[in-house]
Structures are given as C-alpha cells and as structure tokens.
Amino acid sequence: MMRVFVVKFIAILAAMCCAAPLQAKNYELAVEFFPDKSILSGEALIWLKERRLDDSNGTFFLHGELRVTSIEMNGKAVDYSENVVFFDNEYSLVALKVDIDLSTVGEDVTGPLRIKYKGPFHASAVRSPSDYMRIDHDGVFLRSYGYSVWFPIFLGDGNFASTADFQRVALTTPEKFTAVFAGELMSESREKGKTTTVWRAVELALYAAQVTARPFEIRRTENVDFYGLTDFESRSGTSKINDYVQSLLGIYRIDFGEPRTSGKTIVAQMPAYGNIASGNMVGVSDDIWREFDGAAWYGRTLAHELVHDFVYVSTPEDDPFYAIAKEGFPDYFFLPAFAQLFGETYYTDYLDRIEAEYIDKVKTGKGPRGNDLPEQKPLTSISGSEIGVYKDVFLLNDRCRLFFDYMRRKMGPENFREFMKDVMSQRRLTRDDFYALLESSYPDIVDDARVWLETIDFPDKFRRNLE
C-alpha cells in the first residue's frame, strides 16, 4: 500500500516538474464541412506558446470520430500516435488523444505545426438532451472546447480561461449555407457551389471558438450583423431584434458616447440550446428569435454583449481594477438603459433580486442552482485569469452590480450617468484613477467605495432593502 502511494507520489512530482504542456498561441484554420455526409476535413496551422527545448512531446485532442492524416513541422513529418480516450471536455465524453513527438523536427521549434484531420461529427446526447453538436443536412453546429472539439486543442484538463489568436479561420460549406465564427468577417466568397467565409478573432477563449452554418440571410447594420433564417417568423424576428438593438445603441450613445472599437457584434439565429454568447457572436435560439422580447432574459444577454464596446476602457491587466472594468462594467451598464427602455420598476425589481441572491450566496456558499461557488474575495483581488471563474457566477455579476447601483442611488441617476460618462472617457483607467475621479466629484463616497471594492464586507448601509 505504502509503496503504491510512494510510486504514485513520484509520478505526480514528475508530472509537475516536467509536463509543461504545449499550448497554442496562434491558429490558422481551413475547414470544409460536408453536411450531407456529416463529415469535416480540416487543416490547422498552429504556432505554439513557448516550448522548452528539452520537451519534445505534446498532446492534443480532437472529437473522438475524427482522425489525423498528417502532422508536419518545418517541412518534416512529426511522429504521432492516436488513441480514443475518455474526455470530460467533449459532449460525447470521449476524444481522440494525439501524442506527438517533435524530436525529429530539428532545433527550430517555433512552428507552425501543420495538422491535417478529417472524419464524421455526429450529434451526441450523452450529457445533454440537445442534438446541438453536429454536422448534418441542417448545417454545422459545433462549439469547440468543452463541447465539440472540431480543431486540435492542447488543453486536456479544463483551463477555461485560456485564449488563443485565430489569425485566419476559413470555413467552407455548400453554397446554400453561410458559416459564422466569431471576431471579424474578413471575406466571403461563393464559387463552384461552395461558400467560404474567412474570419479573424484575437484573444478568443478556446471554448468560444464555435462554428455555426445554416441557410442564413444576412442583414448588416452599422454595429451589428444579423444572421437569421428566411421563414416569415424568423424574418419578423430579425426586424424585432434589430429594432430593440437600435434603441439600445441609441441610449448607449447618449450614456457613453461612441463605441470604442470598430468591432461588430454578430447576432445569429441558432437551434434549441444555442443561446450562448461566444466572444462577440451572440446566439439566439429559434423560439426566442421568432418571438423576440427584449425585456426577457435573453434581451439582457444581448444588451450585455452590445454594451461592451461602449464601456471599454484600457486598464492594465495587472491592475486591481482590471476584472471590474473588463466584465463588471458590461455586466452592470446595460441596466440603466433598461430602466429607460422598460421603466425604473424593471430596474428596481431586477436589482432587488440580485441583492437577495448575493446575500444568499454569501450565506450558503452555493449558487441558485446549488452549485459550489468560487472563493469569496474582494472585487479588486479578482485577477484577469479568474474572470472566467467569477463572470456570470459570483461577485462580478452581483456584488459589482450592487456597487454601481449603490453609487447610482447615492448620486442620483442623472449625476451618476454624467460621472460614469467621465469615467468611461478616460483613455486609461486604473484603480487609483477611479478613486481620484470619485474623490474630485464625490469625496464623501470614496470610503464606501473602498469597502465595496477592497473588502468582502457588506454592512447594512450598503443594502437596497433591509428586512
């Protein structure tokens, strides 16, 4: 027993010291989808994050039905072996594990790795009632890491904060389909019965590297492109969503000025269970699309995605304010617009609910669905790499929202709007800049702001409601 333990312990130590796992830094993907045959054929060029010279082995994963046909680096063939293994980050719960040996490629190990692969991609209902992850006659519905691994992924164990730059993603389908990725559409061509869309997305979370292809009709507007279906209800849904989006953008412009980046938001009509935002691509499922109602929960997701560009400030990643600026701002600042669109009562009821949930989460350590929460800590202690852990779960979506609401209550809605417009207009915003701005206009709120942001205290005077 003891010996087994020691051997295991040594194995764990060995794994800790030497397994600096390979990770992708840049991707170029060219993938063709054959919906009628439920297959794909892909080529991935992958530039790796720094790789230690003494570490010539690496592992990547693909959906379990796919197979690698060749791997090269520096024009030389790379040795590899494939095995189908259990894998938590795929809906099918299995994946193709590909172990590669780079010892034959020479000294220059910067890449790119050129990996060709192909095979079927059928739906899996293993972990979900959805038949979402599939390529078939309806189109292409793949979500990447965590769901359906349609290009090589080097992470085995669920580092969901991990991002990569997708410098070029070319997606080819039969002509009647149009494939949507994320980021920016670089080009679109239709020839020889095929449609190819080319995308570029930098710093995209690996789990957000989705691809969807349907017989879309595309409606382009200044800030948003809509990818909707062509049946009567879908088209009327596109108009309703467009009206809603334009009203929101109008309010955002008044509240914050012009958007900071030229990036467009993509809103795409998805099948059931497709209500997921992936970077700047927001999926809206068929039923919600056709009967769109901005005041319902899905309107909030859309409003959050759209406000990102208006509340963007440049905060250094090592600054304590980074997580608050990056995801705390967009999580709150669509709500004052909702107060205008749907009435102050909508806003009040929503914030009351957030407060009640926050108090409950702190008391029980559990989320509303009984899920375990990440560690409670001050908002300014959430690091950039922890945003994915707290976003939509704890602190950023409750305490941070309640903090901004507290300032709104203290200053009054109109003064708060002016103050935040000033904050958002800063070219660069650190925690100290934020306190300095507050100090110059509202010195009597500074001490409270520090308690909100630097501690986990929640004194009675912070509360919207006292029972």
Residue placing its CB nearer to Zn ion in the complex, 71 or 282:
282
Residue placing its CB nearer to Zn ion in the complex, 198 or 313:
313
Amino acid at 441: S
Q: Which stretch binds Zn ion (CB under 5 A): 40-48, 80-88, 202-210, 326-334?
A: 326-334
Where residue 37 falls (left for φ over 0; alpha for ψ -120 to 50; beta otherwise) is alpha
Q: Which stretch binds Zn ion (CB under 5 A): 98-106, 323-331, 336-344, 456-464?
A: 323-331
Q: Cβ distance 177 to 215 under 8 Å?
A: yes
Q: Which stretch binds Zn ion (CB under 5 A): 135-143, 244-252, 330-338, 456-464?
A: 330-338
Amino acid at 263: G
Helix runs in 180-319, H state only: 232-256, 286-290, 297-307
Residue placing its CB nearer to Zn ion in the complex, 78 or 325:
325
Q: Which two tokens stand for residue 371?
A: 């899920």
Give the dihedral sign, CA 330/336/342/346.
Answer: positive
Q: Cβ distance 240 to 255 under 8 Å?
A: no
Q: Which of 381, 377, 376 is nearest to 431 (CA)?
A: 381
Q: Cβ distance 334 to 400 under 8 Å?
A: no
Residue placing its CB nearer to Zn ion in the complex, 251 or 307:
307
How many binding residues for Zn ion (CB under 5 A)?
A: 1
88 C-beta neighbours (distance < 10 Å), count: 11
Least gap, CB of 311 to Zn ion (angstroms): 10
* Alpha carbons 61 and 280: distance in angstroms, whole number: 25
Least gap, CB of 270 to Zn ion (angstroms): 18
* Alpha carbons 243 and 371: distance in angstroms, whole number: 36
Least gap, CB of 217 to Zn ion (angstroms): 27
Residue placing its CB nearer to Zn ion in the complex, 140 or 396:
396
Least gap, CB of 305 to Zn ion (angstroms): 7
Q: Which stretch binds Zn ion (CB under 5 A): 174-182, 203-211, 249-257, 329-337?
A: 329-337
Least gap, CB of 99 to Zn ion (angstroms): 36
Least gap, CB of 179 to Zn ion (angstroms): 24
Minimal CB distance to Zn ion: which residue?
330
Q: Which stretch binds Zn ion (CB under 5 A): 176-184, 295-303, 315-323, 327-335?
A: 327-335
Helix (H) or strand (E) holding 454: helix 446-454
- Quick one: which of 42, 111, 330, 336 contacts Zn ion (CB under 5 A)? 330
Residue placing its CB nearer to Zn ion in the complex, 212 or 280:
280
Residue placing its CB nearer to Zn ion in the complex, 135 or 281:
281
Q: Is the peptide bond before 112 cis (omega within 30 degrees of 0)?
A: yes
Interacting residues toward Zn ion by CB under 5 A: 330
